[in-house]
Amino acid sequence: MSSSSCNNGAQELTAAVNNSPVDIVILTNGPGEIAAWVKPVVAALQQHTNKHFSDIHILVVLAPCPHASGGEFQLLQTFDNIDSCQLVLGYRLGYRTLVYTEDAV
């Protein structure tokens, strides 16, 4: 596939989703990841996607981490660009865990 074909495909995809809601889900597991990459990635996503999409929602899901301080959920709630935070608890309780989420329409 030529680079011009890739560029045309990207332009078509952008045109197809422009002005449509876009949901981005980030899975992270601890304080190091939140500080090192989640916050800057969320800021970059917000800056970049605001140029191309009119309605973007960022959801962060916290998976269990042995290094967690317990304050990660509250920290994520202070980030301006994150619309929702969810915490996976099943693993900590000893259950097999499957995460499925959707917004009601």
28: how many CB neighbours lie within 10 A of its CB?
A: 19
Say what the pLDDT of residue 105 is: 44
Tell me, yes or no, whether 103 lies in a domain: yes
Identify the helix (H) or strand (E) that includes residue 41: helix 39-52
Task: Report percent pLDDT > 70 for the chain.
Answer: 61
DSSP element (H, E) containing 62: strand 55-62
Whether 92 is covered by a domain: the verdict is: yes
Torsions phi, psi of 38, nearest 5? -65, -50
The structure's pTM equals 0.66
Residue 63 resides in a domain: yes
pLDDT recorded at residue 52: 67
How far, in Å, CA of 25 to CA of 12, rounded? 23
Q: What is the DSSP letter of 36?
A: I
Domain that holds residue 76: 20-105
